[in-house]
Amino acid sequence: MSDTGFGPDTPPVPPGCVVVGVDGSDPAVRALDRAADEAQRRETTLQIVLGLPWPEPAEVGFGLDADRDRPPAEAARTLLRLAAMLVADRHPGLPVTLELSAEPAAAALVRCGRTAALTVVGTRGRGGFAGLLLGSVGLRVAAHAHSPLLVVRGEDAAARRGLLHDKVLLGLADEEDAEAARFAFEEAVRRSARLRVLHTWTHPHLHLGESSVAAQQDLATQTRQHKELARYSVSGLIDRFPQVAVRVDSVSGAPARALVEASSAADVVVIGAHRRDGGLGMRLGPVAHAVLHYAHCPVVLVPIND
């Protein structure tokens, strides 16, 4: 275990590591546990990051009482070391580095995650990011991350400790989601899991006077065509990863609703995070917002800048 100290001038995070943010809260403990699983699965280093605001001495967390007379910096270091001890207890032998940053937590996680294989954050409340309020650390990281971000939605212990469905779900919009598709295939290999590719599309308005039979025939034809296009878009990955059992589905309807419904039978859902500069900084698209808010399993956002 090593401690990289403070701020943006500290040594860079090892490329390909897993980065996780902690603050001593229960959601952070779940994120820490999941991040350690991911680091062990990838056989890489786990980087535990604590940014501002640092905890007060009495708020060190992890179920332990703190010395109220300690200065905040010492309390923060204690929290990091307790996090490392927790990881060592559950994942002995896993390489761990610590960073106590004088930056805001979101900025520290974005910086540390620049070359990471994965950054992991937790969520608060039953509805995701406490109602997706602007200013959430998780949302800020999601809007600015340079590498894949895993958002650990509320899970029970069984879900955290093993696969419940043996399935990865990929939300595929179009060819711009190539990076998300590649990540999903690699994730299926890491987990020895099946992969479901779900492509959604919108059926155009039917012409007036068209019979219901004709409408159903047209819907069936377009569904088949979109499925063929979706399968074609991942055909190279299917050839590259022959060990992955792949199912490609195409449905007409709202993509967020389809993905949320399908996530109930998946262990993780992977989507491209389409982000746009709205004048007030980068913002996630509506599909990513909805999936983060309502998905039944953890969500991986793979950054795609529009």
* Residue predicted with more confidence, 23 or 68: 23
Last-in-domain residue among 125, 154, 183:
154
What is the mean pLDDT of the segment spanning 128-133? 36
284 and 208 within one domain: yes
User: What pLDDT does residue 162 have?
Assistant: 55
What are the two backbone dihedrals, phi and then psi, of residue 39, each rounded to the nearest 5 degrees?
A: -65, -40
100 and 179 within one domain: no
Q: Tens of pLDDT along 256-294? A: 999 999 999 999 999 998 776 654 445 788 888 889 888
Host domain of residue 119: 2-154
- Long-range contact pairs involving 79-88 (C-beta distance under 8 Å, separation at least 24): 79/22, 79/23, 79/24, 79/50, 79/55, 80/3, 80/22, 80/48, 80/50, 82/24, 83/22, 83/32, 83/48, 84/1, 84/48, 86/29, 86/32, 86/33, 86/62, 87/32, 87/36, 87/46, 87/48, 88/1
Tell me how many domains the chain contains: 2
Three-state DSSP at 252 gives strand
248 and 226 within one domain: yes
Three-state DSSP at 139 gives helix
273 and 241 within one domain: yes
272 and 142 within one domain: no
What are 150's strand-pairing partners? 120, 300
192 and 139 within one domain: no
User: What pLDDT does residue 3 have?
Assistant: 54
234 and 290 within one domain: yes
147 and 34 within one domain: yes
232 and 176 within one domain: yes
CATH of the domain at 75: 3.40.50.620
6 and 149 within one domain: yes
* pLDDT exceeds 90 at position 64: no
132 and 273 within one domain: no
293 and 202 within one domain: yes
Give the percent of the chain with pLDDT over 70: 77
What is the mean pLDDT of the segment spanning 55-67? 60
CATH of the domain at 301: 3.40.50.12370
Three-state DSSP at 130 gives coil
Last-in-domain residue among 103, 121, 154:
154
* pLDDT exceeds 50 at position 104: yes
Last-in-domain residue among 134, 154, 174:
154
Record the pTM.
0.85
